[in-house]
């Protein structure tokens, strides 16, 4: 099973506490930050093998994305085969718009044998809410 690591970025402590509690209860390894610092530290550390994976549509991707992200459209017919072409042994930070697609993509990545996947809980919307920047 994939080591699902969830990054919870929400500036509302009550919401963050509830979400983190449910995730931990379900056995997830959770890193939380009200201001996105955990996600930023991971991305800023820029480990040589870290892949930032944006699974939104190409149009959404073009409107703004995390630095150095690659785009594989969750809704595309070849989504799973495109994932299968990726290196299974490197760590991934995956996100979508709000967290729905990325939470649905986790079991797919698990079935393909990905070793380490971090999900940006709340997607890019949580990133924006935390006041963090994106690239065009």
**77 part of the active site:** no
Assigned token pair, 132? 């963090």
Q: Look up the domain containing 81 and give its range.
A: 35-129
**Cα angle for residues 121, 127, 128 (degrees, 5° grid):** 140
Residues with Cβ within 8 Å of residue 65, at least 6 apart in sequence: 54, 56, 71, 124, 134, 135
Q: What is the pLDDT of residue 110?
A: 87
Q: What is the pLDDT of residue 62?
A: 97
pLDDT at position 86 over 90:
yes
Residue 87 counted as domain residue:
yes
Tell me how many domains the chain contains: 1
Residue 23 counted as domain residue:
no
DSSP 85: T
> Average pLDDT, whole number, for the chain?
79
Residue 45 counted as domain residue:
yes
Q: Which residues pair with 51 in a beta bridge?
A: 92
Residues with Cβ within 8 Å of residue 25, at least 6 apart in sequence: none
Q: What is the pLDDT of residue 45?
A: 72
Assigned token pair, 8? 């919870």
**Among the options 55, 96, 105, 126, which is catalytic?**
96
DSSP 24: H
pLDDT at position 39 over 80:
no
Mean pLDDT of 36-40: 55
Residue 6 counted as domain residue:
no
pTM: 0.74
Rounded to whole angstroms, the Cα distance separating 39 from 6 reads: 10
DSSP 101: H
């Amino acid at each position: 099973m994939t080591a699902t690591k969830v990054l919870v970025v929400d500036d509302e402590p009550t919401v963050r506490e509830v979400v983190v509690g449910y995730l931990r209860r379900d056995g997830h390894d959770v890193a939380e930050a009200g201001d996105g610092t955990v996600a930023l530290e991971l991305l800023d550390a820029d480990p040589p093998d870290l892949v930032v994976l944006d699974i939104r549509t190409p149009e959404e991707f073009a409107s703004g994305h995390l630095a150095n992200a690659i785009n594989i459209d969750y809704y595309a017919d070849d989504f799973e085969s495109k994932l299968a072409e990726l290196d299974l042994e490197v760590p991934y930070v995956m996100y979508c718009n709000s967290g729905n697609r990325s939470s649905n993509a986790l079991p797919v990545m698990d079935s393909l044998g990905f070793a380490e996947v971090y999900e940006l809980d709340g997607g890019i919307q949580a990133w924006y809410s935390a006041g963090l920047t994106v690239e065009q």
